[in-house]
Amino acid sequence: MSTISTEYADEGVKSFSLHPGSVKTDISIGIREYDPTLNDDSFKDTAELSAWTQVRLTSGTEDWLSGRYIDVGWDLDVLQTQKEIILEQNALKNRLALPIN
């Protein structure tokens, strides 16, 4: 995802690493067999929340978040108030750091 942003940002391509939330679906209910810590209360998000977050991300108002991780449970208006520090610290990015000998 960050590679897409790095390679194609100059061409206007935006990419986001989006966590869709804990949505109760047939698949996620099946996960409970492998992870007993999940219960009905852990499925608190809705598919609509994920969809509306994606609509907002494609609107262009959050283009500065391109190449970054976003959770649909986060309030994007609050995140906007932290824009300067997020950019300054190059935060909300998934990275793989390999040791160099």
Grade residue 48 by pLDDT with cuts at 50, 70 and 90.
very high
0.85 surpassed by pTM: no
Q: pLDDT averaged over the chain?
A: 85
**Residue 19 φ then ψ, to 5°:** -85, 120
Grade residue 1 by pLDDT with cuts at 50, 70 and 90.
low
In this prediction, residue 39 carries a pLDDT of 66
Distances (CA, A) of 32 to 26, 27, 46, 61: 11, 9, 18, 37
Please say if the pLDDT value at position 28 is more than 60.
yes
**20, 30 in Cβ contact below 8 A?**
no
Cα 35 versus chain centre, distance: 22
- Angle, alpha carbons 20-74-50 (nearest 5°): 30
Distances (CA, A) of 59 to 14, 49, 62, 88: 11, 15, 8, 23
